[in-house]
Copies of this chain bind each other. A is one copy, B any other.
Amino acid sequence: MRATTIHAPFDIRVEDLPDPELHRPTDALVKVHAACVCGSDLWPYRGINDVTPGTRIGHEFVGTVEQVGDEVTGLRPGDFVIAPFVYSDNTCRVCRAGMQTSCEHGGFWGTDDEHGLPVDGGQGQWVRVPQAEGTLVTVPGRPGDDLLPDLLTLSDVMGTGWHCAVGAGVQPGDTVAVVGDGAVGLCAVIAAHLMGASMVVAMSRHEARQALATQFGATHLVAERGEQGVAKVRALTEGLGVDRALECVGTGEAMATAFDLVRPGGSVGFVGVPHGVELPIGTMFRNNIGIGGGIAPVRAYLPELRDRVLAGEIHPGRVFDLTLPLDEAPEAYAAMHERRATKVLLQPW
């Protein structure tokens, strides 16, 4: 099969690799219909994370079940499925508490599983899915191609934006500011809007993303960054600060901005992989600003968000502004790195 690998910073390749096979009775084989590139894939791409040459990459995909292991009873060949960006058994006590990203038998796409068996990355034609029954979420029938982008976002960015709002504890009537205008930030706008925020400020200086944020429910746009951006958001709240800030980047600068935006007693949600982040414990103490979030257990939110997509209530797939064949994955990464694209959908077939 064709699948994507990373060999060094800025060195993404699509290579011929062995087709995966069922290894465990809890496995499924999924034929991938659509995959995509994540903002977090850019950390190794940019050399900020270490890279082991030849590593499989990608963790978002939708597809059809082709084969299942003997112990998989809830999935059948032909089922259309969405894969969360972490696989999990969905039955251990951590999963039952809604934290599938910390599953006792789970793991990441593109690395070895708990039995030492390799797991495929998501940016390829096929994927062996461990813990298939706990991991995959089915979509009734065979959704039309027009729904694929929306459903694909449920693998990660939509659930991650949702988790940011959950982590911050967004309540009806809250004033909310979203830091970061990537796909996750835009999906966090959807989440804050759906949760009943009375004000949703999207911080973005990119025209197309501003337009999308407004479509998604942003009531205000602030193009400035840093201190100027903070001043502008504070002015919208008569100097008080917002109830919740949703940090959807992961850098120290974005986190500092998020804390500067929040009123005493408010809170910050965070979902970006932290790079160079130090939490301002003094400010948190003096102003009673809490923080919640982390790597998003999107599996927990998938059934609800799937139903909202199928009902036409949300259209997170609009974050995709470029579609390329899988073989052009290198260009997909470059386009996102250079901010020519918000999010790129890859077609493996």
A contact set with B: CB distance below 8 Å: 93-94, 97-99, 101-102, 167, 240, 263-265, 267, 270, 273-274, 277-279, 281-282, 284-295, 297
Known: A102-B286, A102-B287, A281-B278. A292 touches B273 (CB 8 A): no
Q: Is the interface of A mostly helix, strand, loop or mixed?
A: mixed
Task: Given A94-B264, A99-B265, decide whether A286 and B295 contact each other with a Cβ distance below 8 A.
Answer: yes
* Cα A167 to Cα B290 with chains together (Å): 8
List chain B residues, Cβ under 8 A from A263: 94, 97, 99
The copy count of this chain in the complex is: 2
| Pairwise interchain contact B294-A98, C-beta atoms closer than 8 A | no
Contact: A281 with B274, CB < 8 Å?
yes
Q: Is the Cβ of B279 less than 8 Å from the Cβ of A279?
A: yes
Provide the bound-state CA to CA distance between A290 and B102, in Å.
15
> B285 and A270: CB pair below 8 A?
yes
Nearest Cβ distance between residue A2 and chain B, in whole angstroms? Answer: 32
Q: Is B265 touching A285 in the complex (CB atoms < 8 A)? A: no
Nearest 7 CB-CB pairings of A with B: A290-B292, A102-B264, A288-B294, A99-B265, A279-B279, A99-B264, A285-B294
B288 touches A277 (CB 8 A): no
Residues of B within 8 A of A295 (CB): 285-286, 288
